[in-house]
Structure 1
């Protein structure tokens, strides 16, 4: 009987775990409760690899070992289970999970991905490896809108894989682009992984979203750069599109306009406003097309003026009209403003029997010798302008300031893009732009509204998730895909996914409580500290362990089982949990890309043509795994990639 390679690998890993348990227990003179905690951790990993449900395995193991820790006291064991479950269910952060998942399923069923892929691959037709690049960009946008890896990989496998194979792309290149792009939803917000990590580690989900934004874009950009370089170096892996594949069909009215004048769309439409030169095209059609053409420029001007005013305007400080305080010859202050309250009825000096023997100076603070001979002190201004404003006048602040450098950089790039758009705008490119308006920009607006409201502190993640769910609802309705069947399927899948996440959290809470009760965390911490690691060495060790755990386990299991073990160790090394979470989010994509238990490979294999083998898919995934490691190194060497935006907005 021949054993499949992935089954052989899994059995080998389990055998190593069992051998490690036996070696650990035999090599210890006295088995403590901490060793029982490590035994529980090992048995959980073996049980999950055998196929037992993760959540109920965690709960079952946690209860059994809690019962042993409490010396077989069933009452205390059940009390701990109820308290851990209640603590998990009252976590407000988890409310965002079903709402984001519901948004994702509604967007998925709006059938936007086909239009999105077609418009993107036509707009990038002249870029080397354009189909693979369009696949990665489509996956990044769609994964951001849905966050559901399985759905994105499956849909792109049905849509992009046949198109790339027909265009002559190598199977590993096509498969690797789809599987790597589909996994971007794990990292790019709004990510369910970041919500679970934030709830587990006690880190703000808002800051995690802000921190993961640029690392996600960096990883997607590295994927695109790799595809373009390989398409240049090895054109047979990703051949350029033919002229027929790049052709864009024009509507009849636009075709007549293009044939009877200049090919530049803006100039031709402006000239068509004159009745003699409209080529029998209705004026209403010309005005509609002209409105679409002018839209990018008007939007750029609107954004530039509104944001310039926002970044250069400084709110005026409240004005104060403060009268100067003058002093009389006897040193008593004279003011017509607020006076000290009367001391009548309050504390007074004790009575002196003989006024003549009373001291001439108060017993409290007195004037220094010779102060009586000085001139009265001039009026002291309480608040004054830095430039020497006259006393008693109102204090105001500067109302404008220069625009920051980042504003000039961003809008210089946007201005260059808009200028190039108008310089090279043909009627074919106008049709591609209209396709992008119908597919790409609605998703971008939805994502920007959800993420922008979270990152800039306008809403909480839960409120933004509710807004995103409503946006997905409206988007499906706008594309005439909203019906009872779509809503029913979306609600059912949302309930299924949310129940899985919630049970995982309950199981994780029970397991973590049992692990801490047995002293397993203290044992692990003592072992790690005995190694005398530097912070860099600890980060390398932890990331290597997470990378290896990504082979047999999924990211949900790694988050709920192993993050409660790693998080308490961060304080000993002075590591920011936010930064550690960003490294983990980058690293955990290996749970979907690392053979032989790469779930994205099996998602793609399920919809791929029969001649596409699993080994070819694995071969295509390996370079993208290497790119992930490069991204982790870049984030560690340049932590500002992930920490700059949270520090700018919240610290």
Structure 2
């Protein structure tokens, strides 16, 4: 019976979630109830209950997680400063004269917004409102237009500064330390968020290149699906036009360089860089005359809501993982993954498959806080590079925003799309981009240096 308690815990949490209760309360509340039942029957180690206050206190005093509200603040402030609107208008004029140009513009703007805001919902909604009507009016295939907007909006999950990388950095750091303790190694080494930021740069840019190559392929083989802007409506690319391009591109590029550059050159930690980004976002809003007391209050209010949600889920997940370990669930997972055919390769393949399938029904935050703490120590104890593993998980989690029926990017676009764009067209549109992301995942699995080479060069 004792061996079944971890499975009972997971099953109970799943049932409570299906009943519609909030994720954070479902994780923490169900875990505590099952722990009390287990302790009543002598199946649960009381020492884990005594460690619970320290675990929760550790979450609330974690310095790394201060970056979360700061990056959220930066993203929400930039959303209100009209940076995205100016970028989209200018890029559309720059690339519109070529077939697929509007799609390429959306991808590049998604990349720039990812590197300066990192908030998927705001990016998808903004691009959906501003570019989807234009793309449909230009006779773009509805599924291609919808898929491009959804996929480009999710780039904030992998291109730093990414909130998911901040959360993964903290979770994997704990998992790495636990793996070392399990192996009898006492080392102060951890997995820093900066390592993950640097490691995700090359895969993130390769993913952008994959999106653009797909759009070029559509332009070649299905030119009627992505037509160019008519000749009579194309702007003159004179000195005034290029000055406008420079004025629109320079401010977000300066912000990106200030945030990521300070991390790459070791001038600031990710948390300190997040504060630089928050101040920079306010300066950009002031330049665009969008910074007022009402705007500041609205941004702070939205930041508080998002941050509270993240931390509440984090606390609930910490309780869940503590109870899961108290029932010996980590030992069951270790035995199961170690006995798989193929050894480490088989274990990684299975975990990635499970994460991908969970993305159909769960948000990336729940997956990060619930699944990764369970499987992370086991995989890291097998000798995997923590930066490579973190980037692999981040790309995998990015697909959770695109996979129906609960892909959040699909919901965001559906909410702002015109009625003539059907949900089926949105689903068909994101399918090629999901395949591109899975191909990127396979490429990273075959060539781990894509994630590990740059951090090694930076910290030499």
Question: Scaled by the length of structure 2, what TM-score is found?
Answer: 0.93
Aligned to 1:196: 167
Aligned to 2:37: 68
Change (3 A) 1:76 1:543: closer
CA deviation string 1:323-346 (max 9, x = no partner)? xxxxxxxxxxxxxxxxxxxxxxxx
Aligned to 1:614: 423
Aligned to 1:117: 88
Aligned to 1:166: 137
Contact 1:35 1:520 survives alignment (8 Å):
no
Among 9, 15, 27, the alignment partner of 1:58 is: 27
Aligned to 2:157: 186
CA deviation string 1:169-218 (max 9, x = no partner)? 01000000000000000111001101111111102101000000111111
Aligned to 2:222: 234
Say which SS state the counterpart of residue 588 (structure 1) adopts: helix
Aligned to 1:7: none
In the alignment, does 2:91 pair up with 1:103? Answer: no
Equivalent-residue separation in structure 2 for 1:542 and 1:531 (angstroms): 11
Aligned to 1:243: 231
Say which SS state the counterpart of residue 70 (structure 1) adopts: helix
Say which SS state the counterpart of residue 457 (structure 1) adopts: coil
Aligned to 2:181: none
Say which SS state the counterpart of residue 81 (structure 2) adopts: coil
Equivalent-residue separation in structure 2 for 1:239 and 1:508 (angstroms): 48
In the alignment, does 2:346 pair up with 1:541? Answer: no
Say which SS state the counterpart of residue 8 (structure 2) adopts: helix
Contact 2:347 2:379 survives alignment (8 Å):
no
Question: Mapping of 1:85-100 within 5 angstroms?
Answer: 85-100=56-71
Equivalent-residue separation in structure 2 for 1:477 and 1:157 (angstroms): 25
Equivalent-residue separation in structure 1 for 2:68 and 2:341 (angstroms): 39
Question: Mapping of 1:441-590 within 5 angstroms?
Answer: 441-590=250-399
Change (3 A) 1:72 1:82: farther
| RMSD, aligned CA | 1.7
Contact 2:48 2:326 survives alignment (8 Å):
no
Equivalent-residue separation in structure 2 for 1:42 and 1:127 (angstroms): 53
Equivalent-residue separation in structure 2 for 1:534 and 1:72 (angstroms): 36
Among 136, 140, 146, the alignment partner of 1:175 is: 146
Among 197, 200, 211, the alignment partner of 1:212 is: 200
Contact 1:115 1:435 survives alignment (8 Å):
no
Shift of 1:72: 7.3
CA deviation string 1:314-370 (max 9, x = no partner)? xxxxxxxxxxxxxxxxxxxxxxxxxxxxxxxxxxxxxxxxxxxxxxxxxxxxxxxxx
Contact 2:85 2:130 survives alignment (8 Å):
yes
Contact 1:54 1:557 survives alignment (8 Å):
yes
Equivalent-residue separation in structure 1 for 2:359 and 2:398 (angstroms): 8
Structure 1: 4+ residue segments shifted above 3 A: 72-81
Question: Mapping of 1:145-160 within 5 angstroms?
Answer: 145-160=116-131
Aligned to 1:127: 98
Aligned to 1:436: 245
Aligned to 2:185: none
Shift of 1:630: 0.8
Contact 2:359 2:397 survives alignment (8 Å):
yes
Shift of 1:429: 3.6
Aligned to 2:179: none
Change (3 A) 1:72 1:472: farther
Equivalent-residue separation in structure 2 for 1:536 and 1:225 (angstroms): 30
Contact 1:66 1:77 survives alignment (8 Å):
no
Give structure 2 stretches of 5+ with no counterpart.
174-190
Say which SS state the counterpart of residue 98 (structure 2) adopts: coil
Change (3 A) 1:46 1:216: farther
Contact 2:114 2:160 survives alignment (8 Å):
no
CA deviation string 1:448-507 (max 9, x = no partner)? 110110122111111111111000011100110111121111000000111111111111
Contact 2:24 2:313 survives alignment (8 Å):
yes
Equivalent-residue separation in structure 1 for 2:233 and 2:398 (angstroms): 33
Equivalent-residue separation in structure 2 for 1:556 and 1:581 (angstroms): 14
**Rg larger for:** 1
Shift of 1:438: 2.3
Contact 2:48 2:322 survives alignment (8 Å):
no
Give structure 1 stretches of 5+ with no counterpart.
1-30, 249-427
Aligned to 1:305: none
CA deviation string 1:402-434 (max 9, x = no partner)? xxxxxxxxxxxxxxxxxxxxxxxxxx3423322
Equivalent-residue separation in structure 2 for 1:49 and 1:179 (angstroms): 26
Equivalent-residue separation in structure 2 for 1:571 and 1:492 (angstroms): 38
Among 399, 404, 422, the alignment partner of 1:595 is: 404
Equivalent-residue separation in structure 2 for 1:46 and 1:136 (angstroms): 39
Equivalent-residue separation in structure 1 for 2:33 and 2:245 (angstroms): 56
Say which SS state the counterpart of residue 420 (structure 2) adopts: coil
Aligned to 1:6: none
Question: Mapping of 1:332-481 within 5 angstroms?
Answer: 428-481=237-290
Shift of 1:137: 0.8
